[in-house]
Amino acid sequence: MKAEKEKAFTEEYSLDSETIGNIAQKEIKSIDEEPSKGFYRKNKPYRIITRAQIIHD
Amino acid sequence: MISVTIKPFTRICQGDVIRDLEYVEYVKEKEGICEISRVVFPHVIILTQDCDLKHDYKFRTEEKESQDKLLLSVLAAPLYNAEHVYLGEHLSELKIKSQFINKNKSPGDILRSNQNPRYHYLIFPDGIKIVPSVIDFKHYFSINTKYLELHKKNNFVCKVSELYREDISQRFASFLSRIGLPK
């Protein structure tokens, strides 16, 4: 269900399908994989794109 | 080489060097999904005038009749690893390619002697774990004051001492007020 929503969201945004969405997935994955080795060692700025579902009480 | 102090003040100070600061690029929301894009800068330097920061802190922490001196945000600029800047690769993780600056020829010398108005080259003293770095005045940005104050508590690196801080400030002001004349 979560994956379907993610996919639908990504497809809906024309920008996301080729650029932002893919970059987000790729970069979040990269950071999650090596939080202390990859980006920090390079000492360069990096981007994090976070998506969250808004839940209204 | 510049001189620095490592004793942190509670308030934000001009010349503070702070690590891992997040700059929010955008926030958008569509059909209940919120997307936030942030750029994390390994090191930044605070550029806002120190008297403004001092008054802001005073007006937030003391009883006053008005909030006249409060700041909405603070100006900062990134510090890039000089070796990455020479190669034009300092923003490679953001998919941005910059101009190559030949380290061993005039462009490198001009950068290191702070004759290029856009950049400010810094060598930190021993004991400060920051490699020779370059401030890029073109990449200044603003951060919310309260957020920055909280972030500083655990991410303060050092404060550039007054003489060097004023040099940076003067060069930054000069860069911002430059006039591009037609050729």
**Full residue range of the structural domain in which residue B153 is found:** 4-176
Residue B183 lies in a domain: no
**Residue B163: pLDDT over 50:** yes
Of A9, A42, A45, the CB nearest to B39: A45
Residue B182 lies in a domain: no
* pTM across the whole model: 0.80
Instruction: With cut-offs at 50, 70 and 90, classify the pLDDT of residue A49.
Output: confident
A and B: number of Cβ contacts within 8 A? 76
pLDDT at B117: 95
Q: Which of A13-22, B73-82, B121-130, B155-164 has the lowest mean pLDDT?
A: A13-22
Answer yes or no: is the ipTM higher than 0.95.
Answer: no
Name the residue of chain A whose CA is nearest to B41's CA: A45
Average pLDDT over chain B, rounded to an integer: 93
pLDDT tens digits, one per residue of B27-67: 998 888 888 899 999 999 999 999 999 999 999 888 888 88
Contact (Cβ atoms closer than 8 angstroms) between residue B152 and residue B18 = yes
For residue B30, the chain A residues in CB contact (below 8 A) are 9, 12-13
Residue B168 lies in a domain: yes
For residue A44, the chain B residues in CB contact (below 8 A) are 42, 80-81, 84, 89-93
Residue B166 lies in a domain: yes
For residue A49, the chain B residues in CB contact (below 8 A) are 35-38
Number of domains in chain B: 1
As a whole number, mean pLDDT of residues A35-39 equals 40
As a whole number, mean pLDDT of residues B108-133 equals 93
CA distance to partner chain B, nearest, from residue A49 (Å): 4
CA distance to partner chain B, nearest, from residue A6 (Å): 9
